[in-house]
Structures are given as structure tokens and as C-alpha cells.
Chain A
Amino acid sequence: DTEVTQTPKHLVMGMTNKKSLKCEQHMGHRAMYWYKQKAKKPPELMFVYSYEKLSINESVPSRFSPECPNSSLLNLHLHALQPEDSALYLCASSQEDNTEAFFGQGTRLTVV
């Protein structure tokens, strides 16, 4: 099983809302990632968790707040987003650092 599951698949939220994106993997991977992909652009790294600890924050605005409750789950909490934050948010995992990465199907986020 090489599946990374993301929920929800689509999300529309207002600029004053609070919402969360969820990601789950059961491959025993110890590294998990959030990427953001704008239309017709490549994915860009946001956060890396390694062994449930935040190891990289690519200078992401504080309106995005990641959380790793356990080794299988990764959340991205959203608050006071802007319309320009509308994008496909991709979760990925890998067994350890710098090994093959597996991506989920993404959450299509629209901020209105």
C-alpha cells in the first residue's frame, strides 16, 4: 500500500473561517510534507515533519499552522486566509529523509 489519503478533496472557505486539511498514511513513513501548488506551476514546499517534529518551515505565513499528532497523521490548520492562498495543497510522505516520496491526491482550496 503506497497510499497517502487527503481530506477533504475540495474546500471553499471564507477569509474569516477556520478550517483544517488532513493527511494520513499507513506506510510507516517517518517524514511527512505539505506542498502548495498554484495553477500551472510546480509544487512548492511549505513544511517538513521528521519523526513527528517540525524540521522545515519554508517561511510560510502564520495563517498556515501545521500539526503532526502522530506518525500517521498530518494536519494543516487554516485561519484568515487570503484569496491568493487558493491552490492545490498536497501532502506527501517518505520512509526517511531523502527517500522516495509518495503524494496524496491533494485538497483543492478556494478562498472567497
Chain B
Amino acid sequence: KQEVTQIPAALSVPEGENLVLNCSFTDSAIYNLQWFRQDPGKGLTSLLLIQSSQREQTSGRLNASLDKSSGRSTLYIAASQPGDSATYLCAVGVYGNKLVFGAGTILRVKS
């Protein structure tokens, strides 16, 4: 059974810092990995999708990497801003068209 773990569970940083969020998964048989952002009480906003054959994806200040063989992904956020404060969820796409989510990292960027 696929399990996804996100570290740290919570993170508080001053504005302007670069930061890394970590995601690990137990079964390397994945189709893709997707990073989402969720604001309190809201839905999920897709940030980046990495296909299983890819190593990296970038969008603006965000960069996500994937090492499928070791079961790890990182989300790098450059020059963090207070508006980046949210919960960040990592999810792996597995057989059966399912997304298996990690518990998330709660990020707070202080101004």
C-alpha cells in the first residue's frame, strides 16, 4: 500500500527566505507526482505536476524535483512571501487513477 510522508509538518520562516518542503513515498510504481496548495477551508490549487519520467518542473518561484527510485520529491520555494502561507500537499498518482496524498506541510511566512 502506497504511503506518502511530508516533512516538516509545519514550518515558519521570515519573508524572503528560500525553503524546501520534502515528500517521500513508499512504492516507486507511480505515474506522476503533484504538488498542491490549500488555503484554510478552501479547495486545492495545483502547483506543479511531474510525470514519472521527469526529474524536475519549474513554475515561477517554485521548483519541484522527483527521484522516483529513492521515493522522494522536494518543493523549493524561492524568496518566500507572506502570500505563500498555506498548507502544501504532495500527492502521487498510482494505478487506478488515484491520488494518494501526504498529510501536508503548514507553511507560515512572517512579514
> Which residues of A are interface residues toward B (Cβ below 8 A)?
2, 4, 6, 31, 33, 41-45, 48, 50, 55-56, 88, 90, 92, 94, 97-106, 108
Q: How far is the CB of A55 from chain B (nearest CB, A)?
A: 7
Interface residues on B, range: 20 to 34
B46:A103 contact, CB within 8 angstroms: yes
- Which chain A residues border B96 with CB–CB below 8 Å? 48, 55-56
Report how far A43 CA is from B103 CA in the complex, Å.
9
A56:B42 contact, CB within 8 angstroms: no
With A42-B89, A45-B98, A56-B98 as known contacts, state yes or no: A98 contacts B44, CB within 8 Å: no
For the A-B complex with A90-B43, A101-B91 known, give 18 more contacts whose Cβ atoms are closer than 8 Å.
A4-B43, A31-B97, A33-B97, A42-B103, A42-B104, A44-B101, A45-B99, A56-B98, A88-B41, A92-B44, A94-B97, A97-B97, A99-B49, A100-B49, A101-B93, A102-B46, A105-B42, A105-B43
B97:A100 contact, CB within 8 angstroms: no
Once A and B bind, how many residue pairs between them come within 8 Å at the CB atom? 62
Q: Cβ of B36 < 8 Å from any Cβ of A?
A: yes
Report how far A73 CA is from B103 CA in the complex, Å.
29
B45:A103 contact, CB within 8 angstroms: yes
With A101-B46, A103-B43, A103-B44 as known contacts, state yes or no: A42 contacts B97, CB within 8 Å: no
Q: Cβ of B24 < 8 Å from any Cβ of A?
A: no
